[in-house]
Amino acid sequence: MASEFKRWYDNDPILKEALELLKLQTDDNKSVAADFIVSLQEQVAQDVIERIYEITQKFAGKGNRWYDNDPVMIKAIELLRAAPPKTQRIAALKLLLAMENNNMESLESEDNE
């Protein structure tokens, strides 16, 4: 069954679109987006953050995912995965708007809630 192979973000069309578009961005834009997503860590429990650091060390440069060659992006994506669904959706919408408007700098000035 195909649904067994879905990625964690495939169930939310906005989150899926944001991550698919992020994959196509320049390295500079990915870096800004990663910093924005990492700022979500305030909304993720400390034990989850420690697990995310373990995942980052395990996969950095070794995995098959598009973001596995960038330790900051691994951390960002794993933080996004661990964030509450509402936070995921808000972050995805902000990412989509920034990418659509070709204005990733708008993420740098965001005051994340």
Number of domains in the chain: 1
Pick 18 or 57 by higher pLDDT: 18
Determine which helix (DSSP H) or strand (DSSP E) holds 71, and give its type and residue range.
helix 71-82
110 vs 26, more confident:
26
User: What is this structure's pTM?
Assistant: 0.74
Task: Establish if 23 belongs to a structural domain.
Answer: no
For residue 2, being part of any structural domain is answered with no
pLDDT confidence of residue 99 = 92
13 belongs to a structural domain: no
Do the domain assignments include residue 80? yes
For residue 84, what are the domain limits? Answer: 28-103
Q: Is the pLDDT of residue 106 over 80?
A: yes
Q: What is the pLDDT of residue 109?
A: 64
Asked if pLDDT for residue 3 goes beyond 80, the answer is: no
What pLDDT is stored for residue 113 in this prediction? 44
Residue 56 covered by a domain:
yes
